Every structure is written in structure tokens, then in C-alpha cells.
Structure 1
């Protein structure tokens, strides 16, 4: 079966390729280095998966996303295509056996992270595999001007030494012209064929609003445009809280974030994928590799750090080609919050140096030593011990990781979790009988909503500070709650493993990377500035603004974003507004806020019209402050 269309039909049951998938596949099969810029939903994975079935041997896929690798391997196996992923957690002694299976087991695709290429055992075994294509997914990570730079990607070009005749295929969904050029340079692509698809999405309307009540606004939209929807929020606490509020408003919703257990993630995902729940409320941990074509609306309740992230997340709406909406809800307080969240936590050189030296001192690493030494590490305890801000310290450690000075075995996550296993009245009764514990228990309940519903990560330092006690006191109370059978508590001493990949040299170490720190901070500030300009725009087509950001300078107005349709929303004549209100109230009762959002009329005119209808006894005001027609 050598015909590309036959393979496409047999394994994927597609009748035709999307533009320009076929041309990309033909390019790599011809042995040409290839760069492909395909926006979210453009079908990047097919461009390396299908060639694996045309040629003898293996396609090596380098991807930074473990969840995406696992998902793609599972999808390929369901299509009877042999694939494997060399994810973390495989002990070094098992790697040889796994890679032997890749060589002799008839596998067509092998996925691994760029960090795996730094393992000599992995690299030596890869050299023996019959690799005929090397695909680099999320290739923007190779560029320091990209939104997710990973230094390990810089090592990919070294594969040229071992596979001089094997073509490279670099793929990304979001890259400015500057990033595209940097990808080609950093991966040493030789006269690559370059394919790009317009970022324009004709069926997707980009809307920006600033409602006072985001939940009420979302409810109105979800009732007006029913269908699977996504709501992105900025943190884990908001996930559960927002989902619960939507449920209370009559909108079925579930939630997803990185702190859930694998079983919980699978369960919550299943509810949404099977449309048992209309809305998925999630952090940006959700979405990569999620193949749900009929998403009707994607909301952002908070500003994203950059337009690359926003375009990818918004682009999960309308992949089936039907009319869909990407709605950003942002007001003045959101802008202040985003500035603090994304820029206020960035470390400068003195702070980076302070963190590095205190880290070495805490782990007792002498000057000139530390290379390849591994330590258990707890972020929060380290920050408490040295009075360091947690978020800024985390950013500093992440930067040191990206620069290859140390390696974090996993992202930091709070490892003290708790769930009450008795009704709330039992907890209240216990706290009233133990007044010495009451303040801590009340603080715990106020700062960690959801402790009755699921295992919830507990921030010891926050509970201790707000209770006016030490962390030791908080731990003692949590221990008592578990002993009394009121709660389940899980804790671990360390929340990460930390390995030093260079020797300790203090000032020399930091001076060597400080120019990259300055460039990173300037880039993040520039990216957020573009986000704020997009959120504050009232004169230019929203899609056109996005396309201009990604280098499409000659784009036309889309005609259906919130800016494009704003001129069409003319204020109704005073005599027409009461009739419009009566037509709406024939459906069901509405509050004045709902009526104003639907009709987009000035508040004064709306109040005047409602008062006129009340005086004429054509409508009535109900006890819940909604208006309805008189019977």
C-alpha cells in the first residue's frame, strides 16, 4: 500500500488531505529538510505519522509534551500502528531493552523528549535504529524568542552528526517570522522547503468583552449557543470554584488541572469528551493533543501571558468547520493581575544569584563541586527557610533549568494534600470542641475550597501565616484530623529531585547566563504588552490583530469579531426598545443585566424602557429581581 491516499483512507478513514499536508509529506519522502507552520487544528501529526507507513524503518519524533506523546501513541496503537514513547520514569537499566524492542519489534514511530537525547545510553542506541525521518514537534521551543524555550532543543541539531542523510521535519502551530527564522538556524535545516498555512480561521469569531459578572455573561452565551465549551482560568483553585458556580447556575460543568490524579483527569476528561458535561473549566494544563472537533465556545476568564498561548487555546474551538467563538473576558483588574502574575515574579540578576548561592549552601555543595549530584528538594520549605517569595524563586529555578545549570526532575507541585471524609457539620462540631485548633481549621476551609470534594493541595505557609501560627502547628492539627477519622492526609518530604549539571562557580555561573535572563524578561514584557493591546483594542479587527502579530500583514477584516460587529449594534430608537424587551421576555424572565448584555443598549435607555413597561403594567418585577411578562 504505497499510495498516500490509500494509506490515509485505510488508517485514518479520511478521504482527502488538508492543505498543505500532502505537499509536506511528499517533501520529507523526497529527503528534503522541511519546515511546517500549521495553526492549531491543522493536522501536524499526520505529516510525520503517515510517512512512517510509507518507508521501511522508524520515524523519530521529538516532543516536549509527555501527555501529547502518550495520547498519540495510544491513538496510533488503536489504528494498529506500532509506536512507543520513551517518557520519564523508565529506569536507565530498562532503556536498552526498550530500545532493542524499537529496533527488532517492528515499531514505526518512537517518541521521546529532547531531554532524553542528553542521555548517552539513549543516544548510543538511537544510532543503531533504522531512522528515516526526524520530526521535531513544537519546534518553537528551539528559539529563545519563542514562548516556550527549552535549551535541550538546541542539542537536536547534533543528531546531524549521526544521521547526516536523514531529513528533519520541524513543526509548530505558533511562530512569528523572527521565531521561524531562528528555528531554521538552530536546527541547521539545509535549504528547507517551507510550508505555512494562514492563521485566519473563517469560522471562528474572536470576541473581547469586559463584563462585570463574567459567570453571568458566560451563562448567557452558553444558553444561547449550546454545545461543548471550554473555560480557561488562571489557577487550580479557580477551576473547581468556577465549575461549581456554573453548576449552581444550571450549566453542567467539570474541571481539569495539573494537580489531579491520573484517574481523576481521565474521569473528568471522559465526562466532557462524552458530553455528559457541557463545559470543561481548566488551566492551561488542559488541551494539548485533545481532539474534540465540535467545541462551540472557548472562554478565557483571565489574560494569557502571550498571544501564542491564546491563539492555540482559542483555536480549540470550531475544528469541525462550524461557527464557533473565542471569547476573552478582561477588565482593568485583570490587566493589573496579569502584570503582577507574569512580570512581577520574574527574577533579576541579583535575585537569581541569591537563589543559586542559597541553594548550594542548603544542599552543602562546595565551590567547584556538585556536577551530576542529585538531591531531594522541597520548594516551599526552601523558601520558608530563607524567606524567599515562592513564585519568584520557582521562576529563578526554572530559568536555571532552561540554561542547563541544574535539572528539575519534575515540575514543583504541592505534595501535602487533604480531603475531609465527613460532612461539614462534623468538622464544625469538632472544631468547636477543640478551640485550640479552631483558627487553623477555619483558615484551612477558607483558603482551600474543595477540601470536601477532592484531595486538595494544602499550602502550609499560607495557612500558617493567616492563622498566626507556625507550619509545625498546622501539620500537628492536620495529623489530629486524620487520627480522628475526619480527613485523609497525604504528605511527602520532597516535591522534586534536583540534579546539578554543572559545577558550582557562583558569580561565574550566573554571569554566564545573565544576558539570557535579561533577554527573557524583555521578551515576556513585550509579549504581555501585545496581549494587553489586543484586550484593549476597540478599533481594529481582532483576527487582523492576531494575524499581524504572526506576520500576516495584508489580512482583511474578518467581519464577525466583536470589533467588526460593534458598528452594526446601533442604539434602538426609544420607541423600538420596549417592543424588543417584550419579545425577549416572551422566552423567560431576565434580569436587567442580562437584558442589557443581550440588547447592547445604554443603561439609561434600558432603565427608562423597563420603567415605562412597569407603569403600563405590561411587565412585572419578580422577587428575584428579574422581569417577566404580566399574565
Structure 2
């Protein structure tokens, strides 16, 4: 057995590599620069983790997302592999200590964002590390034509100067031909070995379904027992609403979005992973690092921003190779709405500058100051204060984040501060009369001795652990104590953290990145049109459309998508019309009632009804009931 295979079996428990993991690993071990374009679920991380464990030295991994870094480090640590990540909340002293540990602590993996390479002192430290491999994850971010362009990635080629003999591996799940070329040129890869497997996922049924009633369609899809399932929605409110509706119908569903506390996110994720609640309704905050092979259904109920994201999210189904469904539900009005909202939410340079200046004003940052200062931000409150549209403002802040002008971390948190308003002897007396509160009050007093003198921030999770109860119980008791005027209790929530990476220079700061905004907006418009084409093209196989977008030719029709199945069903249209007319001769019916009575699918119903209306064989009333003409 080869050494690579031994490592795979020892740490991951697999007896063999997926194609072409073994070839990629062999290329890396031979010292070649390597480019791996592998679709979601193909096991990209194995391609740099295994060769690192086979060789002496450290692997430096450049990754754009804190959540992704933390997830990979956690998974490696679970396998007793030493790994660390340099995330944004670390102080300079912490980073120096961690980088020293990389030299002397026998670490194998060091994860960091590309922005770290812009800090000269960090680069100086990295130059002294015993690097065996440099992995550029999500490499499409280096291209201005990629869907997540981050100029900081352009700094990655600096590592080539300091480590000319260390092989590079660039990894991505989604890249068009133009983006592939940019990756090779911008990283200065030296005649790289290129590996790509087909984007075709023949076990996935790509279904685009036009429907008047999206929730009813979700119900029909899930009734087929196609679980576990993910239902992707656009906003947090819909997460709760759809999840509640599904539970009321007898399904077991939970929810996930960026506005949840970390503990709630993890709790809901685990319930879904263990299939206690096999359906999860989520925003696109859910999915990164999720490795669940038996997902049967992914449903999108709103139009995604680009085919790259859609392919990744839809690609979370069927990783076990079994038949699965990726359904996109839409109404014709969604297309008009998408175009309108998209254009309205696309910021120009003047708006980005306005948001940047307002942020500086909001946090009282003077001109020429602000470097590395960190603040909590409630985006809605900020937008209300300055009368800014939320979505357009969010897109502007995201742009500033990708340009490394600031770091924008979305993570819901709640800062709780309390102060006891009565003397200690009165607190003891209260406890003696209300023993039910004793464990919580004593845990607070023992942990925060200065809590009588001033408002003190407390850690709910720590107090809950010491009092052996849930955080919700702590909050309940604090509310009671506040109502009784025993304490002053304040909870201030925020949904993001802002770190300023540069001193404030207003025009100078924003003007130098204006060309990137123009290019980004052009790419985003092209990407939206590609998504709309995917939805509205009723003659081309959906699998073909996706593969063509990524520059891959696919000669045959998949035979399984909504277009291919619709073509197969064309010769059945007479019988569909006959079934509908028979029912309507009995009584007028709505399209939903016809769906239940005829057992035809939603697309067949709508298509046949349109044909019958056009031929004047039926009519529709003001209450949306169809009847014989």
C-alpha cells in the first residue's frame, strides 16, 4: 500500500481515493504546481491534506472565509492532526505566538486569509516557516471575472518569490475558462499539472418549476420522502416562516441563518445532520463545510444571484451517488423582480463612498485614523439612522470587505451587562427567601466580583455552565431580577463586526478601488442573465446549460431534468387535456384542486391549462376557478 493511501486510511478511514485525487496528490508529491478544478463534494481538501501528512514540513492554506478555515481546522484536530487558523479576532501578540508555534510545535497546517499577506511583519514571519506546500483554496477569488473576486488574493504570488521551490496547489469548485486562465497567470503557476472532472452530476434531477404556489410545491416534493432536504430561502424571516409551516404539516424541520447565535446554529445543524429534523430551511449562510452524503433534495424558492452559487448549493444533494433532486421554484413575476431588485441593489462608486463615510462617522473615526479598530454593527439600525437601503448598503460593505478596506464578519452576538443595585447582604437575604435563584446568582457573584461597583459584561455561556443550566434560563432569571430592581440588566445585540484595515482617507481610499467596482458590477449583471437564461430556456437540457456555462461540452441530453422530462411528456398532452376537461365537466376547479384530482405535476397542469385557455375550451373566473367554456 502506498504511503498516501496509508495516510488516507489512518486519518479518514477510506480504503481508496476518488478519481482524480490520487493523481493530484502524486503531482503535488512530485513537486509540481497543480491546478485542481473539482466540483462541490469531490474532496478538494484531501488533495492538499494527504500530501502534507506524507511529507515533512507545513502546509500554508490561503482561504477567504473564517467559517471555512475554522471548520477545516476543527475537522483536522478531531483526527489528531495539528492545525491552526489566523483569524481576524487575534491580537498581534497572539499571531506572533502562533507563528512561532508553527516552527516549534510540530503543526502541519496553517490557515490564513489573503489579507494577512498584506501585513509585512506577517510575511516576514512566514518566510521563516518550514513550508512543504502552499494551497490556494477558492482560487477563483483571484480573478476579477470570478464570482467572489478579492484583490488581496493577488498578493498570493508574493509567496512564489520567497518559496520558489515549494509547490503550489490551486483549488476551486467553479471556474469558467476566463477564470482558469486568470488563476494560472495571477498565481504565476509554473507549467501546472491541470486536473478537472466533469461538472456533470448525472444522478441529480435539475428541475425548474414554474408555480403559482411555491409552498404547495415544496410540500409535494417533500411528500415523496426525499429527505434529508435543504430548502434555500433569501432572508431570515422566511427561514422561520417556512420551517414553522412545514412543522405544522407534520414534517420535521429546523432553520439556519446568519442572525442566529452560534450555539443555536450549531444545535440546529447537528439536529439536521443526525436527521432528528431531516429538513433544514436556510439562507446561503448554510452549507459551507457541510459534508452530508445522503441529502436527497435541495429546493430554491428564490432566484439565486449566479450559477456558480446555485451549482454549489444544488450540488449538496446526491453525494452518495443516489438519485436526488435539485429544484428551483419560480413565478414569472420573480424574473421581473430579480432584475429590478438586482439593479436597485447594485451600488455605484458614489454610494459606496457614502456608506464608507457614514460608517466612519457612525463609529467616530477621524480622518487619518481608525487602523485595526474594531466595532460591533447592527446593520438595520445603521441603515435606519442614515436612511440607507439595507440590501444596497450590505452589498457596499461586502465590496469594501473584498477590497480589504475593512473586514466584515457576520456573526450574531448579544452583549449582556449587569450591575447589582442592592447591597450584598440584601442579595443574600433575597437568595434565602428565593432559593430557586441561588445557583445562578452565586455563579455570577463568584465569577464577577466587581459587579456591585459598575455595569459588568458577563458571559452567558460561562455562567450557564457554572450554574448547570441553559442560557435561556439565565436570561429568564436576569429579567426577573431586573423587574424586581435587584439588578440593572442590559442586552445589546449586533449582527456583525467591522474591523477597519486602513486609516480613513475617504476619496483616496474609495477612488483607487473604483475600477474593481465597475468590473464587479459588469460580472454580476452577466451572471444574473445566465441564471435567468437557465430558468427561462424551456428547450435546452438543464444539465447542458450548466455545463456550457462552465466551458464544458456535453453532447447528450441528461434525460432527467425538467426540460428532458417535459419533452418526453409532450405526447401525453392530449391525455392531460382529457383528464382536466373530464374533471371540469363535473365542477369548476382551481389549478391546485386539479393538481390533487388528476395527479399530474404542476408543470403539466399549467401548460395544459394555458393551451386550453388559448384554444377557448375553458375559461377562468374571478375567483381563479377554471370551467368549461
Q: TM-score, normalised by structure 1?
A: 0.78
Matches within 5 A, 1:132-281: 132-281=132-281
Is the alpha carbon distance of 1:179 and 1:483 closer, same or farther for their aligned partners in structure 2, counting shifts above 3 Å?
Answer: farther
Is the alpha carbon distance of 1:542 and 1:270 closer, same or farther for their aligned partners in structure 2, counting shifts above 3 Å?
Answer: same
Contact 1:294 1:320 in 2 (8 A): yes
Are 1:496 and 2:497 counterparts? yes
Is the alpha carbon distance of 1:235 and 1:384 closer, same or farther for their aligned partners in structure 2, counting shifts above 3 Å?
Answer: closer
Task: Say which is worse superposed, 394-403 or 40-49, in terms of deviation.
Answer: 394-403
Superposed displacement of residue 577, structure 1:
4.5
Superposed displacement of residue 258, structure 1:
1.1
Question: How many pairs are equivalent?
Answer: 536
Task: Say which is worse superposed, 196-205 or 382-391, in terms of deviation.
Answer: 382-391
SS state at 1:318 partner = coil
Unpaired runs of at least 5, structure 1? 418-453, 456-478, 582-589, 607-624, 626-631
SS state at 2:394 partner = helix
Measured in 1, the distance between the counterparts of 2:106 and 2:480 equals: 56
Contact 2:259 2:495 in 1 (8 A): no
Superposed displacement of residue 267, structure 1:
1.0
Unpaired runs of at least 5, structure 2? 417-470, 473-478, 584-591, 610-624
Task: Say which is worse superposed, 265-274 or 93-102, in terms of deviation.
Answer: 93-102
Are 1:573 and 2:575 counterparts? yes
Measured in 1, the distance between the counterparts of 2:364 and 2:51 equals: 51
Task: Give the corresponding residue for 2:344.
Answer: 344
Is the alpha carbon distance of 1:184 and 1:577 closer, same or farther for their aligned partners in structure 2, counting shifts above 3 Å?
Answer: same
Contact 2:168 2:189 in 1 (8 A): yes
SS state at 1:391 partner = helix
SS state at 1:573 partner = helix
Superposed displacement of residue 360, structure 1:
5.0
Deviations 1:571-629, CA, capped at 9 Å, x for gaps: 36389849x99xxxxxxxx95333456456547989xxxxxxxxxxxxxxxxxx9xxxx
Superposed displacement of residue 260, structure 1:
1.2
Measured in 1, the distance between the counterparts of 2:170 and 2:50 equals: 15
Matches within 5 A, 1:44-63: 44-63=44-63
Task: Give the corresponding residue for 2:521.
Answer: 521
Measured in 1, the distance between the counterparts of 2:360 and 2:31 equals: 48
Is the alpha carbon distance of 1:481 and 1:533 closer, same or farther for their aligned partners in structure 2, counting shifts above 3 Å?
Answer: farther
Task: Give the corresponding residue for 2:586.
Answer: none
Deviations 1:47-81, CA, capped at 9 Å, x for gaps: 00100111011111111222222222222223232
Measured in 2, the distance between the counterparts of 1:574 and 1:323 equals: 27
Task: Give the corresponding residue for 1:594.
Answer: 596
Measured in 2, the distance between the counterparts of 1:158 and 1:151 equals: 13
Measured in 1, the distance between the counterparts of 2:72 and 2:344 equals: 37
Is the alpha carbon distance of 1:528 and 1:575 closer, same or farther for their aligned partners in structure 2, counting shifts above 3 Å?
Answer: closer
Is the alpha carbon distance of 1:318 and 1:361 closer, same or farther for their aligned partners in structure 2, counting shifts above 3 Å?
Answer: closer
Task: Say which is worse superposed, 592-601 or 95-104, in terms of deviation.
Answer: 592-601
Measured in 2, the distance between the counterparts of 1:603 and 1:33 equals: 53
Measured in 2, the distance between the counterparts of 1:73 and 1:534 equals: 36
Measured in 2, the distance between the counterparts of 1:23 and 1:534 equals: 34
Task: Give the corresponding residue for 1:16.
Answer: 16
Deviations 1:274-315, CA, capped at 9 Å, x for gaps: 111121111101011111000011100111100000000000
Task: Give the corresponding residue for 2:298.
Answer: 298
Contact 1:574 1:605 in 2 (8 A): yes
Measured in 2, the distance between the counterparts of 1:82 and 1:554 equals: 43
Measured in 1, the distance between the counterparts of 2:607 and 2:61 equals: 60
Measured in 2, the distance between the counterparts of 1:313 and 1:605 equals: 32
Contact 1:85 1:112 in 2 (8 A): yes
Is the alpha carbon distance of 1:552 and 1:289 closer, same or farther for their aligned partners in structure 2, counting shifts above 3 Å?
Answer: same
Measured in 2, the distance between the counterparts of 1:325 and 1:515 equals: 40
Is the alpha carbon distance of 1:363 and 1:239 closer, same or farther for their aligned partners in structure 2, counting shifts above 3 Å?
Answer: closer
Is the alpha carbon distance of 1:103 and 1:217 closer, same or farther for their aligned partners in structure 2, counting shifts above 3 Å?
Answer: same
Query: Cα RMSD between the aligned structures?
Result: 3.2
Superposed displacement of residue 233, structure 1:
0.4
Measured in 2, the distance between the counterparts of 1:186 and 1:561 equals: 37
Contact 2:37 2:197 in 1 (8 A): yes
Is the alpha carbon distance of 1:597 and 1:187 closer, same or farther for their aligned partners in structure 2, counting shifts above 3 Å?
Answer: farther
Deviations 1:528-569, CA, capped at 9 Å, x for gaps: 011011111210000000000000134421111010011222
Contact 1:293 1:319 in 2 (8 A): yes
Superposed displacement of residue 160, structure 1:
1.4
Are 1:410 and 2:423 counterparts? no
Is the alpha carbon distance of 1:356 and 1:258 closer, same or farther for their aligned partners in structure 2, counting shifts above 3 Å?
Answer: closer
Task: Say which is worse superposed, 540-549 or 221-230, in terms of deviation.
Answer: 221-230
Task: Say which is worse superposed, 320-329 or 15-24, in terms of deviation.
Answer: 15-24
Task: Say which is worse superposed, 334-343 or 122-131, in terms of deviation.
Answer: 334-343
Contact 2:69 2:111 in 1 (8 A): yes
Task: Give the corresponding residue for 2:421.
Answer: none
Contact 2:408 2:496 in 1 (8 A): no
Measured in 2, the distance between the counterparts of 1:233 and 1:29 equals: 42
Contact 1:2 1:54 in 2 (8 A): no
Task: Give the corresponding residue for 1:332.
Answer: 332
Task: Give the corresponding residue for 1:423.
Answer: none
Q: TM-score, normalised by structure 2?
A: 0.78
Is the alpha carbon distance of 1:274 and 1:386 closer, same or farther for their aligned partners in structure 2, counting shifts above 3 Å?
Answer: closer
